């Protein structure tokens, strides 16, 4: 009988999209994690963690509290920040496979001591937000040589969806960039030394809702994460 692959998924907007995406792989069991659930204790039952999209990370967590007023940041949830930083502390200590998507990338980078660009367009880059009609933008990404993401996807470039206004500025400790948009915006990061953490993959796009679910930047990311979780069983 197959063992269940228990994955903790941080509760957030469009939570069901993430769980449906993960459960395309067999034997996946989801634990919904969040401060509304008041279930930090459930993290110890998880064999992998996925952090999802949603609100901006409060800039006080990376030493830039003044950004709130300066850039009129009003999409914040400090209780979610505090909860997910505790989840990250546990996952990092226990070396659990970790996949961060959009906000998940951002809060993981902050947890590791990195900083964020508070508003991409204000910093002179192109618009990465959704289109006016509500659909995600699409843009190209380029991957440097010898990244884990490149090996997973089997490609050195591709097209991904885009729906964000913040991004990585300074990388957190132990992270390296694994892909970049044409305007120079970092679109992904990964752990530099696998001995430090066996699987820590961060992407700024939304693989769970890519128009082409067979894209290597959707399907293969999910499969690599699931494979990493299997190795913990």
CATH number of the domain residue 95 falls in: 3.40.50.880
Assess whether 46 carries a catalytic annotation. no
pTM: 0.96
Closest alpha carbon to 105 in 225, 205, 218, 224: 205
pLDDT of residue 1: 46
Distance of alpha carbon 113 from the chain centroid = 16
Yes or no: say if 204 and 167 are a contact pair by the CB < 8 Å rule.
Answer: yes
At 133 the pLDDT is 80
Residues 66, 179: Cα–Cα separation, whole Å: 29
- Is 208 known to be catalytic? yes
DSSP per position, 44-96:
GG-SEEEE---SBPPGGGGT-TTHHHHTT---B-HHHHHHHHHHHHHHHHHT-
The pLDDT score that the predictor gives to residue 13 is 86
| Active site (annotated) includes residue 179 | no
55, 102, 139, 197: the catalytic one is 102
17: domain range?
5-230
- Mean pLDDT per 10-residue interval, the chain, length 233 residues: 86 92 94 96 97 97 97 96 98 97 98 97 91 89 96 97 96 98 97 93 97 96 97 90
- 58, 165, 197, 206: which is the annotated catalytic residue? 206
* The total number of structural domains that make up the chain: 1
Of 137, 100, 58, 93, residue with least CA distance to 221: 100
Q: Spot the catalytic one: 84, 187, 190, 208.
A: 208
> What pLDDT, on the 0 to 100 scale, is given for residue 171?
98
């Amino acid at each position: 009988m197959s063992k269940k692959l228990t994955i903790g998924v941080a509760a957030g907007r469009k939570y069901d999209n993430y769980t449906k995406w993960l459960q395309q792989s067999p034997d996946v069991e989801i634990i919904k994690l969040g401060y509304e659930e008041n279930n930090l204790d459930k993290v110890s039952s998880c064999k992998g963690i996925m952090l999802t999209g949603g609100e901006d990370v409060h800039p006080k967590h990376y030493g830039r509290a003044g950004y709130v007023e300066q850039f009129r940041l009003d999409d914040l949830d400090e209780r979610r920040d505090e909860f997910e930083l505790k989840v990250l502390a546990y996952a990092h200590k226990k070396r659990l496979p970790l996949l961060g998507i959009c906000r998940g990338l951002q809060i993981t980078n902050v947890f590791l001591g990195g900083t964020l660009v508070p508003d991409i367009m204000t910093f002179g880059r192109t618009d990465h937000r959704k289109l006016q009609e509500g659909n995600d933008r699409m843009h190209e990404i380029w991957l440097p040589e010898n990244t884990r993401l490149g090996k997973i996807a089997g490609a050195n470039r591709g097209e991904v969806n885009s729906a964000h206004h913040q991004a990585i500025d300074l990388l957190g400790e132990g992270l390296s960039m694994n892909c970049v948009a044409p305007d120079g915006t970092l679109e992904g990061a990964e752990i530099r030394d696998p001995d430090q953490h066996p699987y820590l993959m961060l992407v700024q796009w939304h693989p769970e809702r890519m128009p082409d679910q067979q894209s290597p930047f959707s399907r293969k990311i999910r499969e690599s994460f699931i494979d990493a979780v299997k190795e913990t069983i």
